């Protein structure tokens, strides 16, 4: 018997599926051939491994069960989104109020306001875009509108504060010139 013929019969040989004559021929070849002995050992090891895999195979309704449990869970992403929107809004308002207060009390000079305002506007535009993108993703048009409203109100407030500061600066300059 050739090795190829022996190997072709080994699986059926292990299962006792061969005729007595064929099994005897395979047994004779195995006794003389180390290569086919090794192949038989490999086949047995593979069979054992497959048996273990079958043991840990999940039940047939595993996916449905997991998906049902996930569906039953409260949505943490939604809660996180809401708190993030709230945080962005607060950051926005606080930043603008702080700048307006500093400008109104004259701590910030108008040149500084222009510079700081530009910087802040850049940062707030980013925050606004972020807000808008999140709102758009969750189809929360109300949040987007609220974001735009907050930006507009804050911008108006800072404009009023800046104009008052500019007028004070102007008066000071005029006063200095009059003397
Ligand atoms: Zn052989």
- Residues 79, 166, single domain; the answer is yes
Q: And the tokens for 48?
A: 């054992």
- Residues 87, 172, single domain; the answer is yes
Measure 15 CA to ligand 1 centroid, in angstroms.
Answer: 19
Q: What is the pLDDT of residues 49-106, one digit of tens each?
A: 877 776 776 677 877 887 787 778 776 655 555 666 677 777 777 877 777 777 666 6
Q: Looking at 51-144, which runs of residues are DSSP E strands?
A: none
Measure 7 CA to ligand 1 centroid, in angstroms.
Answer: 7
Judge whether 159 lies within some domain. yes
- Residues 21, 97, single domain; the answer is no
Q: What is the pLDDT of residues 101-155, one digit of tens each?
A: 776 666 656 566 566 666 666 666 666 666 666 656 666 666 667 677 777 777 7
- Residues 49, 91, single domain; the answer is no
Q: And the tokens for 122?
A: 């850049």
- Residues 117, 170, single domain; the answer is yes
Measure 50 CA to ligand 1 centroid, in angstroms.
Answer: 25
Judge whether 153 lies within some domain. yes
- Domain count for the chain: 2
Q: C-alpha angle with apex 118: 113 to 119, nearest 5 degrees?
A: 100
Q: Which domain holds residue 161?
A: 74-178
Please give the Cα distance from 146 to 79 (Å, whole number).
18
Please give the Cα distance from 42 to 39 (Å, whole number).
5
Measure 26 CA to ligand 1 centroid, in angstroms.
Answer: 9
- Residues 83, 51, single domain; the answer is no
In this prediction, residue 79 carries a pLDDT of 54
Place of tokens 């972020």: 130
- Residues 78, 38, single domain; the answer is no
- Residues 149, 84, single domain; the answer is yes
> With bands split at pLDDT 50, 70 and 90, how would you rate the model's confidence at 179?
very low
- Residues 83, 136, single domain; the answer is yes
């Amino acid at each position: 018997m050739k090795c190829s013929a022996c190997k072709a019969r080994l699986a059926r040989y292990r299962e006792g599926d061969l005729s007595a004559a064929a099994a005897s021929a395979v047994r004779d070849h195995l006794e003389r051939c180390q290569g086919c002995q090794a192949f038989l050992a490999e086949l047995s090891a593979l069979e054992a491994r497959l048996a273990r895999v079958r043991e840990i195979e999940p039940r047939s309704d595993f996916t449905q069960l997991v998906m049902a449990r996930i569906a039953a869970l409260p949505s943490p992403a939604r809660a996180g989104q809401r708190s993030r929107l709230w945080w962005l809004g607060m950051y926005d308002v606080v930043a603008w109020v702080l700048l307006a207060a500093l400008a109104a009390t004259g701590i910030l000079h108008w040149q500084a306001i222009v510079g700081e305002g530009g910087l802040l506007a850049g940062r707030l535009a980013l925050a606004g875009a972020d807000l808008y993108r999140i709102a758009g993703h969750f189809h929360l048009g109300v949040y987007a509108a609220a974001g735009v409203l907050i930006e507009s109100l804050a911008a108006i407030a800072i404009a009023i504060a800046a104009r008052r500061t500019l007028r004070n600066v102007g008066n000071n300059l005029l006063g200095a010139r009059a003397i």
